[in-house]
């Protein structure tokens, strides 16, 4: 069982560069989300999706884009990387709107110089 | 202020000792989740609690939900080095897919 798969595991970008963080799940979950985790800030929701073709903003969406063309994939795009986007990024999915756990990927550690 | 307060922020415990981490919500809880994270790794789901008074155990970790207090406690008995890491609680306070999160408790086990 693959669960939630994130790539890459590590990435270094220069300010102004763009990139896409990949996320795929094989559990047929409707809900997928992206979080960033920073020391002292906990987990903060960037964007989420409740099904293919449906996306919405979370708590900290600025500087990020998402799309959901299939149930399985939910890529996160950094449009023009900034040092403030240095963080650990997690993709997560769940099967129901409540009373079901979030399943997390292993994370992507991003450094922007 | 945090909607989900976790305490303590950090904990250093002698190996073999018991410990408790608390998670208190300012909103009505529909579900409470405990996760563990080791440095540089993802969040591992430990347990889900749904009903007031519910208690679940996995190996030496027990979690309880107190509906009246809107609080959950995570108790580790006879701690081991493998228990070290960051413990996070997450909660459903609505039925809209979104969880709220505690800030985490960093647990260090001293040999």
* Chain B residues touching A43 at Cβ < 8 A: 88, 90, 101
Which of A7, A95, A85 is closest to B97 using CA atoms?
Answer: A95
Given a cut of 90, is residue B44 above it in pLDDT?
yes
| Residue B10 near chain A (CB below 8 Å) | no
Cross-chain residue pair A104–B43, CB shorter than 8 Å: yes
Given a cut of 90, is residue A71 above it in pLDDT?
yes
Cross-chain residue pair A90–B30, CB shorter than 8 Å: no
Given a cut of 70, is residue A58 above it in pLDDT?
yes
Given a cut of 90, is residue A77 above it in pLDDT?
yes
Given a cut of 90, is residue B49 above it in pLDDT?
yes
* Cα A98 to Cα B50: distance, rounded to the nearest angstrom: 10
Cross-chain residue pair A40–B103, CB shorter than 8 Å: yes
Given a cut of 70, is residue A17 above it in pLDDT?
yes
User: What's the per-residue H, E or C state across B6-30?
Assistant: EECCEEEEECCCCEEEEEEECCCCC
Angle at B16 between CA B103 and CA B46, to 5 degrees: 40
Report B:26-65 residues touching A (Cβ under 8 A): 30-31, 33, 35, 40-45, 48, 50
> What is the average pLDDT score of chain A?
95
* Chain A residues touching B33 at Cβ < 8 A: 101-102
Cross-chain residue pair A104–B94, CB shorter than 8 Å: no
Rounded to an integer, the average pLDDT of A92-113 is: 93
Q: Are A52 and A74 in contact (CB under 8 A)?
A: no
DSSP assignment, residue A10?
E
Of A31, A99, A101, the CB nearest to B45: A101
Given a cut of 60, is residue B1 above it in pLDDT?
no
Q: What percent of chain B has pLDDT over 90?
A: 75
Amino acid B107: pLDDT? 97
What are the beta bridge partners of residue B86? B37, B106
User: From start to end of A1-113, where are the E strands?
Assistant: 4-7, 10-13, 19-25, 31-38, 42-51, 54-57, 64-66, 76-78, 87-94, 103-104, 108-112
Amino acid B26: pLDDT? 92
Amino acid A42: pLDDT? 85
| Residue B9 near chain A (CB below 8 Å) | no
Please name the residue ranges forming H helices in B4-111: none
pLDDT digit string (tens) for B22-37?
Answer: 999 999 888 999 999 9
Cross-chain residue pair B97–A42, CB shorter than 8 Å: no
Given a cut of 60, is residue A26 above it in pLDDT?
yes
Please state, in angstroms and as integers, the Cα–Cα distance from residue B100 to each residue in A98, B74, B77, B92, B107, following that order: 12, 17, 27, 7, 21
């Amino acid at each position: 069982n693959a669960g939630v798969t994130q790539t890459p595991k590590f990435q270094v970008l220069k300010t102004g560069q763009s990139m896409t963080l990949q996320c795929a799940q094989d559990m047929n979950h409707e809900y997928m989300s992206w979080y960033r985790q920073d020391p002292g800030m906990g987990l903060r929701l960037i964007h989420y999706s409740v099904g293919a073709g449906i996306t919405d903003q979370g708590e900290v969406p600025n500087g990020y884009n998402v799309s959901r063309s299939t149930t399985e994939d939910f890529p996160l795009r950094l449009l023009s990387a900034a040092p403030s986007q240095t963080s650990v990024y997690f993709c997560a999915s769940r099967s129901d709107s409540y009373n079901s756990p979030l399943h997390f990927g292993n994370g992507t550690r991003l450094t922007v110089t | 202020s945090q909607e989900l307060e976790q305490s303590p922020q950090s904990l250093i415990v002698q190996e073999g000792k018991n410990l408790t981490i608390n998670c208190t919500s300012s909103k009505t809880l529909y579900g409470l989740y405990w996760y563990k994270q080791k440095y540089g790794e993802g969040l591992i789901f430990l347990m889900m609690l749904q009903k007031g008074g519910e208690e679940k155990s996995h190996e030496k970790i027990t979690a309880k939900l107190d509906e009246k207090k809107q609080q959950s406690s995570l108790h580790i008995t006879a701690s081991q080095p493998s228990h070290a890491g960051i413990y996070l609680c997450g909660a459903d306070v609505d039925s809209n897919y979104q969880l709220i999160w505690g800030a985490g408790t960093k647990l260090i086990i001293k040999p």
